[in-house]
Each structure stands twice: as structure tokens, then as C-alpha cells.
Structure 1
Amino acid sequence: MIAELSAALLNKLGYLILFGFSITKTKFFKNYLMGTPTSKSIKMIIATLWGLFGVVMTLWGTPVFGGIANSRTIPIVLAGLLGGPFMGFVAGFIAGFHRMFLTVGGELTAISCGISTLVAGVAGGLLKDWIRTKENKAYYGFLIGVGVEVIQMLIILMVARPFNEALLIVKTIFLPMTFLNAAGVAIFLLFIDQVIKESDNAGAVKAQMALKIANKTVPIFRLGLNNETAEKAAKTIYKYAQVDAVSFTSTNECLAFIGSGSDHHLSGSTIHTSYTKNSIQKGVLLVAKKKEEIGCSTADCPLGSVVVVPLFLEGVVIGTLKLYKARENAMTSSDIELAKGLGELFSTQLALSKIDEQAVLLKSAEIKTLRAQIQPHFLFNALNTVMALIRIDPQKAREVLTDLSYFLRSSFKLSAEKVTLEDELETVKAYVNVEKARFEERISIEYDINAPLSLMIPPLMIQPLVENAIKHGIINRQSGGLLKLSIYLNKDELTISVEDNGKGIPKDIVESLKRNQELSGIGLSNINRRLMNHFDRKLQIRSMLNSGTKVSFSIPMEKELSNV
């Protein structure tokens, strides 16, 4: 009898395993495993399905004297192990109630089996968190299955009467039901574990894909969002993301579209899908699972599902990223997470592009500020000098006018972000020549240049230092004002110093400069700030009252060549 019963249960277990293998491959079951339901209504529906599965196992059982040998405990225990005590209780109650009051046959063990079924569901639920911590879930699932069957046999012996008949049933069904049902639980958990591993592997592949896309697209969006950058990024995503089409839009038009449907989703065309418009308006990620939800006006559009991710800049939607698939209901949770992650990455890169743009504007503003410091009285004084020289030394007047013209032209070339050392020196010489024409023997200058004149440096880094030395230093001397400009290259460091023998800078002003405080009318503040912003360097100032001042700085040429 035991051998025949074992064969019957084993045969049914084979069908059960085939069913379990098939159901674990379905999208519904995978979504159930990977996303634990939170609402009670969804939990109730899934628990009811497990309970009905238990009812089927009862109906499919084999009569044994006054009982029924079956595999009812397999789905009930699984309901608890996967869903927790609540779902285990609901599934156990449904299958147990059916076994108690609605099953035809097996009346001797109806009450005891109904009770044990409810116990099996709750026990499985209480062990949910415990088994999740185990590496070999199938092994521990087998042990749980054995334990549940042992409890069921004990309940039969305690409840079912007459006892002799209950004992006969237990002796007959104990081994087949205990070990085969425990094996069924273990095999189901093995399938489930495989689904989880496959999901983890798919997640790892998606993560690797996202990293690869990120590495390829990060430099692109540092240039902002436009037709050119959108097309480059769309081609990269289309190559790696395993989707049927990729698109970027602004808030009103398609910037780029790569893949299926590109014959009517044209770059530069007005946005005509309602889903994209809704995403832009609401500023939220949207997923269209069916073609009609996408809202494409072209009837034969080959695209069946899409995830639309808004792109933000300073909290405002400026466009969207869209990933399409040809089949309906084809967007998986990993596809959605990939799109969401890329959208966040691109929004961050667009914010950085804004910062880069502001940094460029800051550089331009700093240079313009320096150029604006060429005050009108300098021009008036220079022109007055020229007018005076015209009467007494026309040739000298022409030379001063030429120097003044060169100085003004070089000072107001606003487009250059860097100039050669030679051009900067010519600007300095022109300025000094104009000032020397005014003050004659009160100013003299020495040049000590030991660096290639072809080196590229930021504009107006030297002339303001020279101007500062003249205006605030040696101009107050009646005669003998000496200024020395030294430039030398030591490996990759270019050092520039301007030294004068003027009245010196008060100590409080020197300390203020060291603390990066703004000082009205002194060009040193501007240069010091530019050095800090672009090279993380500061002006070095040594000054002694009535003895003179030396101002110097060094800039790394390799960094300068790449960052200016």
C-alpha cells in the first residue's frame, strides 16, 4: 500500500514540478517575487490563489482508508514562506475550510487536516524572514516541509477518532507524504531561488549597461541639451540598452530619434505623443504599456510601449528621455529603473554644464572688470601729453600715440581667453611708454625675461601689476622710480614678479589681500581672485613702507593649457 501510494504521489509531484517550473517563468510570478505586494487587497488576491491551489491538491489526492493522501501543504507552506503570516493564514484558511466542510471523502481526518493546513500556512509565514537569510533555501525548505508534515500527523493522531483508524492512516501516509511533500517545497524554492538569481544577474547586466552608457554620455551633456548632443547620446543608448528606439525632446520638439519609427518621429518636429506632453507637464516618469497609451498620431507606428523620463535643470523640466520597445507590455522593471537612472544622470550633467557655462562667463566678466579699470583720466592725461608733445617733439608725440593706440586695442580685445606671453609684454611696454612720456625720469623699468615668448597665459595678468606698481608705488617719488619685471620658466611653473622701489603697501591692505577681501580701486584683488579660481594659487606680496613692494605669482603651465 505504501509503495503504491508513493508512486501515485510521486507521479502527481512530477506534474506539480512541471507546473511550478512553468509558473516561475511567467512575468506575473516574477513580478510577484521581486516586488512584495503592499496593499491588503493585492495580498488577499495572491493568498486566495495559493489557497485555491491547495484546494486543487486536495481534490487531486488519493483516498486512504478514512483520509486523503495529498500535496496540499506544498502551496500553503509556500504562501507563508513567500508572503508572510497574513498570506499564509488566508491560504491555509481557504484550503483548510474546504478540507473540513466541502471535501467529499476522507471524513475521518477532515477536522484534523483542516486544522493542520491552517497551522502549516501560519508556520510558513513565521519562518519567512528566517529562511530569507539562508543561502541554501531548498535544503531548509525541505526541513520545513518535513516539520509541517510531522505536525500534521500529530494533529491527526490527537484529533481524529477512532484512534486506531487514525493511527493506521498515519502509518500509511507518513513516509510518502512527509518526504515527497517536503521535496515538493524544496523544489519549488529551488525554482524560486533560480528566478531571483536570474533577476539579480539581469540587474547586474543592466547596472553594467548603465555604467557603460554613463561613461559614454557623461562628456556629451556637459555641453548642454541640443540637437547635436541629444543625437550622440541617443545613438549610444540605442547601441547598449537593448531597446527598439531612443528619443530626446525639449519641451516642445523632438531633438533626436534613433531606431524604429524614425520615419515619422523626426528630429526638429513638434512633439505629437500625448504621453510625452503629460510627462513634461507633470514632471513625472510615465510608462505606456500599450500603443494607444503612447498616443502617436501615426496609425502604423511600430512602437508598442515606452518609458518617458523628464529631464530637469534647476528644478524645471527642460526635456525628456524616452526608451521605446516594439512589443506592448514589454517594459520591465529593470528597463524602467535604467531609464530613471539615466534621466537623473543626464539632469545632473546638464546642471554641471550650466556651472561650466557660468564659469566661462565668470572668466569673461573678470577680464572685462580689469579692462573697465582703464579709467577716463588715464586717457585724458595721455591725450594731454600727446597734445603737449606735438608742439615741442612731434616725433615723440607720434610714438606715444602709437603706444596708446596699441595699448587700447590690446586691452579691448574681449574675445581672447588666452594670449601669448609676447603679446602681454607688448601691452605692458605700450602702457609703460605712455606713462614714461608723462613722468619722464620719475619712471624707469627693467625687463628680465627668461621664458619662451610663445607661452600662452590668461590675458591681463601682468599689466595690472605694473599699473598698480606705478600708480600706488613709484609715482609718488620725485625721481628715481624703478620698476623691475621678471619672468622665468622653471620646469612647468611660470613665475612672474613685479618689483618697485616705491612707498610700499600698508600692512592692513596686504593682510586684506591675503584674506581675499575686495579692495576698491586696486587691480591686485581681481588678479588674486582669478588665480584662486583657475589655478588655486595666490599672489605673493612682500612690501615695506617707504622701501618698495614685490608682487609675484606662479602658474602651472600644463594645467593652464588645459583649463584656461
Structure 2
Amino acid sequence: MQTNQLVFELIMNIGLMVLVASLLSKLQLVQDIILQEKRNWKSQALLSVMFGAIIILSTYTGIDIGSYSLNTRVIGAMAAGLLGGPLVGLYASMIGAVYVYLFSAPQAFAMASAFSTVLFGLLGGGFYPYFQRGKWKYKDLFLLACFAEVCDMVSLLRFTVPVQMALKTILEISGPMILLNAGGILIFISSFNNIFIRQDLESSRQLQRASDLSKRCLPLLVEGLHKGENMEELASVL
């Protein structure tokens, strides 16, 4: 497959992931769970299944180049950890890894792909406290995704036999996989960023209302509440 066609199809796959992220970020249930700082097991299970399904989708829609299936599973796996935390990153990536190991082609790369999928989820979960939610450091996120893809290439060398086949595949796919998937995860995470932006706007509105209320109540409190008319006016303001 020509490089231009390969890049185009990979961009289309990334576009599909971004579309899925945009649709999910509009669901009120997903918004509520993402905004929770302490989640119960049901919320974590739902997020794990959701991101696990995204990993499976990205694997299923992989681009067959003969020796390898080029895919965007790093986006869903890392996003699971970055948005859901370490447990969600682990569980979602394990769901994706089982599918990758059983159904991905060619089978020679199945073990390496499954291992790297779990690694992606652990990387995202490990950096969950570092990336402040809604205020992502996109340069660091890009570099982390590049590092994850490099680890994927190392996994291919480590677990694939013969090594010559793995090396040839890496030389063919490394450039598009690293750069495009690293850029894709930025767009994917940005789709969920609107959830935090809306939360900040709502918090700002509430603070503005509280400020306006305090300005109206302060003169009445300064004069004292021993006057009946002051108490009545304060009650009406509240």
C-alpha cells in the first residue's frame, strides 16, 4: 500500500474515533461520570466497557497492509486512563487486549499487540494525576502518545518471531503510527474537554450569583437586623 493512501486511511480511522468521542461527550450520563472525582464501581465499570468498546472498534477498523493491521487502539486505551483514572485504564485496556489477542490479524503480532494495549491503558492511568482535567498540557500529551507508540514498536520486536518480519513491519508503519496517533489523541481528548468547559462556566455563573447576592445583602447586614424593615428586605432578597 502506498504511503499516501496509508496516511489517508489512518486519518479516516482517527476521524471515526473523534466522531465517537464527540457523540459520547454529548450524553448526559457520560458527562456526569467523567466529572465525578470519586466514582463507584458501577461508574468505573461503565467507563471501562465504553472505552473497551472504543479499543475494539479501532482494532476492528484497522488497515490491513499485509504484514500488519494498522490501527488507532492507542487512542482509546490511553484516553481510558487519562479520563477515567488508573482502574478504568487497566480494565478497559484488558477488555481491548483480549479482543486483540483473539481476533487481530496477523496472529504473529497478537501477543505483542495485546501487551502494548494494556501498556497504553496503564500509561494513561499512571499520568491521570499529572494531566489536570480540562486543562491538558497538549505538548506533554503528544509526547506521551509518541512514547506509547515507541513502546508498541519495542513490543513487536520483543514478542514477534521471526524478528526480521517485526523489524520490516516497524520500518514500514512507525512514522504514520507515531505521528498520526499522537495527533489523534489530542483531538480525541479535546472532544471531552467541552465537558469541563461547561462545568467551569456553570461554576462561574454560580459564583457570579453569589457575588451579586452578597452585594445586595451586605448593606442590610451593616445596618443591623434589629430593624424590622431590614429583616423583611433581607428575607425578600434571599
Q: TM-score range by the shorter chain?
A: 0.7 to 0.9
- Name the structure 2 match of 1:213: 213
Q: Measure the CA separation in 2 of the matches of 1:215 and 1:135.
A: 31
Q: Measure the CA separation in 1 of the matches of 2:98 and 2:53.
A: 11
Amino acid at match of 2:236: K
Q: Percent identity?
A: 22
Q: 1:154 to 1:104 in 2, by over 3 A?
A: closer
Amino acid at match of 2:170: V
- Name the structure 1 match of 2:27: 26
Post-superposition CA distance 1:251-287 (Å, at most 9, x none): xxxxxxxxxxxxxxxxxxxxxxxxxxxxxxxxxxxxx
Determine if the alignment matches structure 1 residue 71 to structure 2 residue 72.
yes
Q: Measure the CA separation in 2 of the matches of 1:164 and 1:106.
A: 15
1:252-331 correspondence to structure 2 within 5 Å: none
Post-superposition CA distance 1:3-58 (Å, at most 9, x none): 22111011121232233233334323332332224222321221121111101111
- Name the structure 1 match of 2:185: 185
- Kept in 2, the 8 Å contact 1:24–1:191? The answer is yes
- Name the structure 1 match of 2:150: 150
Q: Measure the CA separation in 1 of the matches of 2:193 and 2:179.
A: 21
Q: Measure the CA separation in 1 of the matches of 2:27 and 2:176.
A: 30
Post-superposition CA distance 1:185-241 (Å, at most 9, x none): 111233334432332133112211122134335649x578xxx769834xxxxxxxx
Q: 1:15 to 1:134 in 2, by over 3 A?
A: closer
- Name the structure 2 match of 1:108: 108
Amino acid at match of 2:157: L
- Name the structure 1 match of 2:236: 232
- Kept in 2, the 8 Å contact 1:138–1:190? The answer is no
- Kept in 1, the 8 Å contact 2:146–2:179? The answer is yes
Aligned residues: 230
Determine if the alignment matches structure 1 residue 139 to structure 2 residue 139.
yes
Amino acid at match of 2:67: G
- Name the structure 2 match of 1:12: 13
Post-superposition CA distance 1:354-399 (Å, at most 9, x none): xxxxxxxxxxxxxxxxxxxxxxxxxxxxxxxxxxxxxxxxxxxxxx
- Name the structure 2 match of 1:117: 117
- Kept in 1, the 8 Å contact 2:81–2:124? The answer is yes
Q: Measure the CA separation in 1 of the matches of 2:54 and 2:180.
A: 17
Amino acid at match of 2:98: F
- Name the structure 2 match of 1:396: none
- Name the structure 2 match of 1:36: 37
Amino acid at match of 2:81: G
Between structure 1 and structure 2, the one with the greater Rg is 1
Determine if the alignment matches structure 1 residue 3 to structure 2 residue 4.
yes
1:435-450 correspondence to structure 2 within 5 Å: none
Q: Point out where structure 1 has 5 or more consecutive residues left out of the alignment.
A: 234-345, 347-564
Q: Secondary structure at the match of 2:105?
A: coil
Greater per-residue strand proportion: 1
Amino acid at match of 2:35: M
Q: Secondary structure at the match of 1:131?
A: coil
Q: 1:6 to 1:134 in 2, by over 3 A?
A: same
Amino acid at match of 2:9: A
Q: 1:109 to 1:70 in 2, by over 3 A?
A: same
TM-score, with length taken from structure 2:
0.85
Q: Which moves more between the two structures, 185-194 or 58-67? A: 185-194
RMSD: 2.6
Measured after TM superposition, the shift of residue 133 of structure 1 is 8.8
Q: Measure the CA separation in 2 of the matches of 1:145 and 1:84.
A: 16
Amino acid at match of 2:121: G
Q: Measure the CA separation in 1 of the matches of 2:6 and 2:30.
A: 31
Q: 1:63 to 1:37 in 2, by over 3 A?
A: farther
Identify which of structures 1 and 2 has the higher relative contact order when contacts are C-alpha pairs closer than 8 Å and 6+ apart.
Answer: 2
Q: Measure the CA separation in 2 of the matches of 1:14 and 1:154.
A: 27
Q: Secondary structure at the match of 2:121?
A: helix
Q: Measure the CA separation in 1 of the matches of 2:136 and 2:187.
A: 12
- Kept in 2, the 8 Å contact 1:63–1:106? The answer is no
Post-superposition CA distance 1:377-434 (Å, at most 9, x none): xxxxxxxxxxxxxxxxxxxxxxxxxxxxxxxxxxxxxxxxxxxxxxxxxxxxxxxxxx
Amino acid at match of 1:11: M
- Name the structure 1 match of 2:54: 53
- Kept in 1, the 8 Å contact 2:33–2:39? The answer is no
Amino acid at match of 2:168: L
- Kept in 2, the 8 Å contact 1:138–1:185? The answer is no
Q: Point out where structure 2 has 5 or more consecutive residues left out of the alignment.
A: none
- Kept in 1, the 8 Å contact 2:77–2:121? The answer is yes
- Kept in 2, the 8 Å contact 1:50–1:79? The answer is yes
- Kept in 2, the 8 Å contact 1:112–1:156? The answer is yes
- Kept in 1, the 8 Å contact 2:18–2:191? The answer is no
Greater per-residue helix proportion: 2
Measured after TM superposition, the shift of residue 65 of structure 1 is 2.0
1:453-468 correspondence to structure 2 within 5 Å: none
- Kept in 2, the 8 Å contact 1:109–1:156? The answer is yes
Amino acid at match of 1:111: M
Q: Measure the CA separation in 1 of the matches of 2:135 and 2:73.
A: 26
- Kept in 1, the 8 Å contact 2:217–2:234? The answer is no
Q: Secondary structure at the match of 2:129?
A: helix
